[in-house]
Amino acid sequence: MEHLIIGTAGHVDHGKTALIRALTGIDTDRLKEEKERGISIELGFASLTLPSGRRAGIVDVPGHEKFIKNMLAGAGGFDLVILVIAADEGVMPQTREHLDIIELLQVKKGVVVLTKADLVDQEWLDLVREETAELLKDTVLENTPVATVSALTGQGIPELLRLIDQVAGVVQTRSDTGAPRLPVDRLFSITGFGTIVTGTLLSGSLKVGDVVEIQPRGINARVRSMQIHGDKVETAGAGQRVALNLAGLELEQIERGCVVTGLKSITPSHRLDVRLLLLKNTSRPLKNRTRIRFYLGTGETLGRVVLLDREELEPGSTAYAQLELEHQAVAAKGDRFVIRSYSPMLTIGGGTIIDPLPKRKHKRFRKEVLDALATREKGTPEELLEQYLTGNRQLPEVNDAATGTGLPQSEVKEAAKNLCETGTLKQINSDGKKYLLLKDTFLSWADEITELLNFYHRKYPLREGYPREELRSRKFKQLNNKIFQLLLLEMKQDGLLRVTSQAVALQSFEPGPGPEQQKVITKIKKILKDAVFLPPSWRELCRRADFDETAGAELLQYLLRTGEMVKVADDLYFSGDIIVEAREKLSAYLREKGEISVGELRDLLKTSRKYALPLLEYFDREKITRRVGDKRLPGRAME
C-alpha cells in the first residue's frame, strides 16, 4: 500500500509511545501533563519511512481506561495496528478492550509487539507469548506476526521495521474515487494562517483551492494550503494524514468529530440503520432502547438502540437496529462504529452502518423493514439501486444515487445500464447528466397525470390542456422546473402525453366546444361578420349572443387561440376573417399609394376613428405598417 496509517493499541504504560519514539525518533507526547504523568492522554502523531520507501502516518493512542474515547477518535482511520503488550505485565484490561475495538472496527492487518523484553527472562517471555496467542484466538489478529523488542536498548527494532513493511505491502489501498471525507481529530489556530485541522483522508482526494463542507455544521470553507508529514502539497489522496489550512472558518466553528467533505456530498443524520454486534464478553444482554455512547470516525455522541426484531440482544449476537442519536452523525454506508455503555463506560459492541440516512423511523417487528435492511446490507448493486429508487419521488442523478446507496459511481452506472436493459429503469439524459427513475414509478406518475387530465379536459373542454407550471406545483412540487420539464418530454417521447410550450394534454384530446357552446360561437361569428369593421364590445357581444359574460371567458380564450377572433386592443375584438379582409385592403392601398393615414384607413374600411386607430396600431405590431409621423408606410412584413 502506497499510503497507510499505522495506529497503536494497548494497555496504559506498556510502552506504545516509547516504541514510536524508537521507530521514528519522534516523541508523540506533546502536552505538559503527559510528560509530567508519563502517560499519553491525547492522540499523538508521527511519520515513518519504511525500508521499502513507503511513507506511513502514525497515530499513537492513549492506553488509560479514562481516555478510551480519545483512542476511539484515532482508531477509525487505522490501516494497520501495532498491538503493544508489555512483556513484564502481559495481557491487561485495556489490552482486551483495545483488541475488542480493533475487532469491531475490523482492522485486519497488524503486528503484535511484546515490549520491554529487556526486563524479563526467556521463560517468562514464552509464557507471555502463549497468553498473547490465546488472546488473539478467533479475532481479526489471530494470525498476526509477533515481534519482541526493547525500546530502551533497541533490541528487535530493525526487525520490527521490516515486519511492519512486509505487512504494509498487503494492506488494501483506499479508493481515491468518490467524495472526500476527512474526520477531524485535531484542530488549532496559527497566527497569520488561521484554522488548521488534521485527520486521515478516508476516501476521495483534496487539492488546494477546493471548497469543502464542514459537517454536521453545514459550513463551507476553502482549502488554503495542505501539508502531509510537514511537507506542503497541492493534492492529497485517500489513506494519507493531512493537515488542512481552511480559509473562511473560525476555530470555534469546528470541533473534533466534525468531518471535512465535498460540497453536498453527504448528509448528517440523527438516525442510522445498522447491523449491531454485542461483544460476547459483555456481562448482560442489551435491552431495547438502552442508552449508549456512540463512536464513529472521530466523533462521539449519546443515543439509544432500537432493536428491530427482538426485545434484547444476547452477548455474542447480532441484530438489525436503528440508532437514535442526540447529535447528528456524519456516516457512509459500510462505516464501522463502536458503542459503549452509558455507565459504567465500557466497550460493549459495534457494527456496520447499513443506511446512513434512513427515510423514516422504523416500526419494530415488521418483515418488510427487516427484508429491506437485508437487501440494503447484502444486495447486489442492481438490488441496492432499485431499493434506493423505490418510493423516491425525485429524479436523482448518478452521483446522488451513489451517495444514497453507498456504491461507487462506476457501479451505479453499470447497475443502471443493467436495469435499463431489463426494462426496470428509465434513464433520462440531459446536458451530460443521467437522471434515474424506476419504470414503474415513471408509469405511475404518468397515470396520476392522466387521471388529472381526464377530469380537467371534461371541466375545461376549450382549453388546450393543463398549464405546465400549475401541474408541477400541484403534483410534483418536489421536482424543480428543469427536472419536471425533462420528465414531461420523456412522457411525450413515449407517446403518453401531448406537451406544448404552455400546456399538457392527453394524446387523444382535441380542445373544442360542445353542442351548446357551438351554438353560441355561431351567433358570435355572425354578429362580428355583420358588424364588419364596427364590432361591439365583448360585453355587448355577450348580451346579443345571450350568454353570461363571466362564463364566456373560457369561450373567448378558445376563439382567440384558434384565431376565429383577434384581439386588437383592450375590449376590442374582430372576427379573424374580418382582420384578414382589413389586411388585404390595407396592403393593396399601400402598394398603390405608398402611405396611409388614420383618416384614410377610416374611409377605406368604412369605419370610425375609434376603430381605425387601434387597427393601425395592431398592424404596426404585426409589421404590416410602420409609423412615420402621422403616416403609416409599408412595414417589414410587406417588404
Domains 181-262 and 515-638 share a fold: no
Q: What angle do CA 90, 95, 100 make, to 5 degrees?
A: 140
DSSP 541-564: HHHHHTS-TTTTHHHHHHHHHHTS
Q: For residue 327, what pLDDT is reported?
A: 97
Q: What angle do CA 526, 531, 534 make, to 5 degrees?
A: 150
Q: What does pTM read for this prediction?
A: 0.73
Residue-level pLDDT at 108: 92
CATH number for the domain formed by residue range(s) 515-638: 1.10.10.10
pLDDT of residue 594: 92
Distances, alpha carbon 623 to alpha carbons 55, 511, 583, 598, 626, in Å: 77, 30, 11, 16, 7
The answer to whether 29 and 40 have CB atoms below 8 angstroms apart is yes
| 3-168: CATH class | alpha beta
According to DSSP, the residues that pair with 320 across neighbouring strands are: 275
Q: What is the spatial distance between Cα 606 and Cα 609, in angstroms, rounded to a whole number?
A: 10
Q: 3-state DSSP call for residue 405? A: helix
Q: With H, G, I as helix, E, B as strand and everything else as coil, classify residue 634.
A: strand
Instruction: Show me where the domains of the chain are located.
Output: 3-168, 181-262, 269-370, 515-638
Q: Are 182 and 174 contacting, i.e. CB atoms less than 8 angstroms apart?
A: no
H/E stretch holding 425: strand 425-430
pLDDT at residue 346, rounded to an integer: 92
Q: What is the pLDDT of residue 578?
A: 94
User: Are the C-beta atoms of 337 and 350 separated by less than 8 Å?
Assistant: yes
Residue whose grid cell is 406545483 = 473
Q: Check residue 205 and give its pLDDT.
A: 92
What CATH topology corresponds to 181-262? Elongation Factor Tu (Ef-tu); domain 3 (2.40.30)
What's residue 392's pLDDT?
Answer: 84
Q: Mean pLDDT, 10 residues at a time, over the chain (639 residues)? A: 82 88 81 53 82 88 67 80 94 92 93 94 94 94 94 93 93 80 92 90 93 96 94 93 94 94 91 97 96 95 97 97 97 93 93 91 94 90 91 87 83 93 93 92 95 92 91 91 93 94 92 84 90 92 83 84 92 93 94 93 94 94 92 86
Whole-angstrom CA distances from 109 to 198, 212, 306, 559 are: 24, 31, 32, 80
Domain 269-370 sits in CATH 2.30.30.280: no
Name the percent of the chain in helix, strand, coil, to the closest 5.
35, 30, 35
